Structure 1
């Protein structure tokens, strides 16, 4: 099973990080694996929403459908895999947690786990490829998330200062 758990401290309020990570339109800005996210059964993210994530992995297009099973604004969200094409996984999901650190800072934690198809090739790839791929691409995405969220926070501060002038 490919499993990865990591976190990153971000110099931005939880509200900004939450809004950024829950926006289907903005996901490609910070998640290099993702080309587009479509909400299939709702206009906004909430418990029960099914979203289709389209992207490329190993140079091949894929999509996976995830159902939101936990939705606690500013605190936590969790999803489970309900369908996919072009991905070798039969089940899985993940959790995003948000922790206030004070001084307009927060910690974003991403936990993911995916079980590959139970074939000889699936078991070999799981052991030698999937784990390292998941780790590398998640780390890249979280670094970009930090950059985008901190830029959004600075923009918000500048707009706030302009409104006060």
Structure 2
């Protein structure tokens, strides 16, 4: 199992940072990861039980379900369908208010790969990929929010 965490301070209030992270109408302006994000079923916004199709620019495709939605502090998902090499995937984005209108933003992903070939190598490769992804996403969100989102 691989645990990937990245956190940083965003110079914007936590409700603003949370809102930008969950507003799919602005997501493509800051998030370098998705090619396409689609709420499934009749959903028009995120909520517990809402499933979302995420297609990454790399081609990686995942269906995830929101298991926690607590504005303006937390959103968490689990994978319901995904790439053949990933056994399980869960992620949480947590936004904690700090002083002077700043926010500590923390992204956390937990990944288990399927036990093909050499398990240690598959988790290592997945970990490297998602470490790069999580840093790029959080830095993109920071830049977007600090430019007056």
**TM exceeding 0.5:** yes
Counterpart of 2:65 in structure 1 is 67
Superimposed CA distance per residue, residues 26-58 of structure 1 (whole angstroms, 9 cap, x where no aligned partner): 22322212112111031111111111111133x
Matches within 5 A, 1:117-156: 117-121=114-118, 123-127=120-124, 129-153=125-149
Q: More helix per residue: 1 or 2?
A: 1
Superimposed CA distance per residue, residues 68-124 of structure 1 (whole angstroms, 9 cap, x where no aligned partner): 011111111111000124x62121111111100121211111110111122115542
**Structure 2, gaps ≥5 residues long:** none
RMSD: 1.6
Match status 1:103 vs 2:100: yes
SS at structure 2 position matched to 1:152? coil
Count the aligned residue pairs: 148
TM-score by length of 1: 0.82
**Cα distance, 1:146 vs structure 2:** 0.6
Counterpart of 2:89 in structure 1 is 92
Counterpart of 2:51 in structure 1 is 50
C-alpha separation between the residues in 1 aligned to 2:56 and 2:34?
A: 4
C-alpha separation between the residues in 2 aligned to 1:104 and 1:24?
A: 24
Counterpart of 1:160 in structure 2 is none
Match status 1:12 vs 2:12: yes
Rg comparison, structure with higher value:
1
2:78 to 58, 77, 80: 80
**Structure 1, gaps ≥5 residues long:** 154-165
Instruction: Note closer, same or farther for the CA distance 1:64–1:122 as it changes in structure 2 (3 Å cut).
Output: farther
Alpha carbons 1:47, 1:71 under 8 Å: kept: yes
